[in-house]
Amino acid sequence: MGNSEGCCAWAGVAGAGSRRTPVTSISRGATPLNRQTLGDAYVLALEAYLACPEESALSGAYELGRKALLDGLSPLDLVSLHASALEQSLSFSQGSNRPVLARAMTFLLEALSPFEMAYRRFLESNVALRGLSEALENQSRRTARQIHDGAGQILFSLQLSLAELMAGLPRHWKPRFDHVMQLADHLDQQLRSLSRDLYPVALDDLGLNAAVRHLLDGVATRARLKVSFQSSVPDRLPPQIAIGLYRAIHEGVTNVVRHAHASELCVSMQKDRDGVVCTVTDDGVGIDNTGNQPAGLGLRGIHDRLKGLHGGLEVRSTAGNGTRLIITIPVAIGEQSDGN
Amino acid sequence: MAPSNQVRVPIDSDSDIVVARQKGRALASDLGFSPTDVVRIATAISELARNLLSYAASGEIRLEALNGLNRRGIAITASDRGPGIADVERAMQDAYSTSGGLGLGLPGVRRLMDEFGIESAVGQGTTVSATKWCPQ
């Protein structure tokens, strides 16, 4: 093939080599080989469905659509693939409605073209939103670090200096001095809380497991909860995954402390074949409006964040029998280094 | 570029849009574009021609076959002597397009094509050029 080789990938049908129908190729990311394989598979699946319209064949269609999407095909590409496959499949039959159907498919392609523009806009927006999200996360990280390492350290020095100063002052100053120290402690807690909400610097300093344990230790002390923690997940995961997991756990644990009236809290992070499965379980009062969709603004935010990581959040709860959050995030753990 | 590589279609009415699409489709098919790319090129012509009618009342669509050493392509140029665009950057933002953020209009053409350019002077007119290359 000459110059047109790059423009059209040809999908042949097994046993029908003389009837070659062009299958479109446009979208970046899909190689002609993929397209050809997909084209062949599509023809076979469509013929199977036309011969015997069963759900299994429709399920096959869904899987092919999924593969097409992952291969980078756009809506127009898929319809064009379908049109080619339909033309090939109908050429086996004796019916005289072939040209009409082919024309109808061309008509559909044109009608679908504005949707292609919208689809491309959504893809572009997606990339922009992800970039914005990462930029915001990085900004939060820097600010959290400045509070933690900068303001926090200055306050610590101030507390030390105040303590030294106190040692040299008359005893009757002590009550007023204690009040000043309490204010400094309060400021310290506020700064830590602000820093942690912005970005948990412990995640960078200690790794995921130690950061979660640190979080749970604090909860156990402050909320008088019996806390257990198990993990088989490496300390170092891709930053977006680690922060996504940490924030989901943080939100879940915060909800337990605020609303659950629980006495026990169990957090587990386990790796499985597809990624990480994390559960946050309590023995509290449960959630009334139970369902698959998470309730509450905090959980909604976590749900959206996990969606952005192709993960999911499931809330299982019955009134009076506690709540379990199941957080899943796909990640190729084997490829991640456990070190840096 | 030889004049035979160029087609000029005056756009004064909706029926002229059909003529421009027809000529663009024929040219793109001759150049070896795939059926879906031909649809995209026809869509870009529609959007640009529609813009000419909406904002300048009339104008011209020029279609040009590009035969480079290693690749072939099609250039679509839409020009008018209308009021011009005061803020081109803003005109290219989806939120300000008449499609209400669905990604049609000029931003949609930019996404369908490989290269896109716009020149405008207030009171003198606007020229929008969009090029698509045949994938190697």
Q: Would you list the DSSP string of A45-108? A: HHHHHHHS--HHHHHHHHHHHHHHHHTT--HHHHHHHHHHHHHHHHTTS--S-HHHHHHHHHHH
pLDDT above 50: residue A22 = no
Please judge whether A122 and B107 are an interchain contact, meaning their C-beta atoms are less than 8 angstroms apart.
no
**For chain B, which ranges sit under pLDDT 70?**
1-4, 95-101
Which of the residue ranges A132-136, A226-230, A304-308 would you say has the lowest mean pLDDT? A304-308
Q: Which long-range contacts (CB under 8 A, 24 or more apart) does A151-160 make?
A: A151/A191, A152/A188, A152/A191, A152/A192, A152/A195, A155/A184, A155/A187, A155/A188, A155/A191, A156/A188, A158/A184, A159/A184, A159/A185, A159/A188
pLDDT above 90: residue A88 = no
pLDDT value, residue A55: 77
Strand A21-24 to A226-231 pairing = unpaired
Residues of B in contact with A11 (CB under 8 A): none
**Bigger pLDDT: A229 vs A50:** A229
Q: What is the pTM of this model?
A: 0.64
pLDDT above 50: residue A8 = no
Percentage of chain A beyond pLDDT 70 is: 82
Which of the residue ranges A82-86, A144-148, A295-299 would you say has the lowest mean pLDDT? A295-299
Beta bridge partners of B97: none
pLDDT value, residue A36: 66
**Tens digits of residue pLDDT in A251-284:** 899 889 888 889 999 999 998 888 899 999 999 9
How far from chain centre, in Å, is Cα A118? 23
Which CATH number applies to A207-340? 3.30.565.10
Residue of B nearest to A73 (CA): B36
pLDDT above 50: residue A3 = no
Distance from CA of B48 to the nearest CA of A (A): 13
Please judge whether A117 and B112 are an interchain contact, meaning their C-beta atoms are less than 8 angstroms apart.
yes
Which of the residue ranges A120-129, A138-147, A293-302, A327-336 would you say has the lowest mean pLDDT? A293-302
Q: What would the mean pLDDT of A48-69 be, rounded to a whole number?
A: 82
**Tens digits of residue pLDDT in A215-247:** 999 889 888 899 999 999 998 888 888 988 998
List phi, psi (to 5°) of B73: -160, 180
Domain ranges of chain B: 3-133
Residues A10, A84: Cα–Cα separation, whole Å: 10
Judged by a CB distance cut-off of 8 A, whether residue B18 touches chain A is no
List phi, psi (to 5°) of B82: -85, -160
List phi, psi (to 5°) of B96: -100, 0
pLDDT value, residue B24: 95
Percentage of chain A beyond pLDDT 90 is: 24
Residues B111, A68: Cα–Cα separation, whole Å: 20
Q: CB contacts < 8 Å between A and B, how many?
A: 78
Residues B23, A19: Cα–Cα separation, whole Å: 29
Residue of A nearest to B94 (CA): A121
Residues belonging to chain A with any Cβ–Cβ distance to chain B shorter than 8 Å: 3-4, 6-8, 22, 24-26, 74, 76-77, 80, 83, 106, 109-110, 113-114, 116-118, 120-122, 124
pLDDT band with cut points at 50, 70 and 90 for residue A339: very low
pLDDT value, residue A61: 84
pLDDT value, residue B16: 94
Tokens of A200: 């948990």
Judged by a CB distance cut-off of 8 A, whether residue B92 touches chain A is no
Which of the residue ranges A53-57, A178-182, A219-223, A286-290 would you say has the lowest mean pLDDT? A286-290
pLDDT value, residue A297: 61
Judged by a CB distance cut-off of 8 A, whether residue B50 touches chain A is no
The answer to whether residues B126 and B86 touch, using CB atoms and an 8 Å cutoff, is no
Beta bridge partners of A265: A227, A282
Please judge whether B36 and A114 are an interchain contact, meaning their C-beta atoms are less than 8 angstroms apart.
no
Q: What would the mean pLDDT of A22-26 be, rounded to a whole number?
A: 34
Judged by a CB distance cut-off of 8 A, whether residue B121 touches chain A is no
pLDDT value, residue A86: 86
pLDDT value, residue A295: 52
Please judge whether A6 and B37 are an interchain contact, meaning their C-beta atoms are less than 8 angstroms apart.
no
Secondary-structure class of domain B3-133 per CATH: alpha beta
pLDDT value, residue A19: 34
Residues of B in contact with A109 (CB under 8 A): 35-36, 39
Strand A312-317 to A275-282 pairing = unpaired
Please judge whether A120 and B111 are an interchain contact, meaning their C-beta atoms are less than 8 angstroms apart.
yes
Angstrom CA distances, B100 to B47, B97, B118, stand at: 15, 6, 21
Q: Of B33, B40, B134, which has the smallest distance from its Cβ to A113's Cβ?
A: B40
pLDDT above 70: residue A13 = no
Domain ranges of chain A: 3-93, 207-340
Helices (H), chain A: 32-51, 55-70, 75-90, 98-145, 152-167, 174-198, 201-206, 208-223, 239-255, 297-308
Q: Of A4, A76, A117, which has the smallest distance from its Cβ to B108's Cβ?
A: A117
pLDDT band with cut points at 50, 70 and 90 for residue A111: confident
pLDDT above 70: residue A42 = yes
The answer to whether residues A279 and A315 touch, using CB atoms and an 8 Å cutoff, is no
Which one, of A221, A274, A209, lies nearest residue A245 by Cα? Answer: A209
Residues of B in contact with A80 (CB under 8 A): 34-36
Which one, of A27, A26, A31, A24, lies nearest residue A83 by Cα? Answer: A24
pLDDT band with cut points at 50, 70 and 90 for residue A35: low
Which of the residue ranges A205-214, A296-305, B46-55 would you say has the lowest mean pLDDT? A296-305
Q: What would the mean pLDDT of A77-97 be, rounded to a whole number?
A: 79
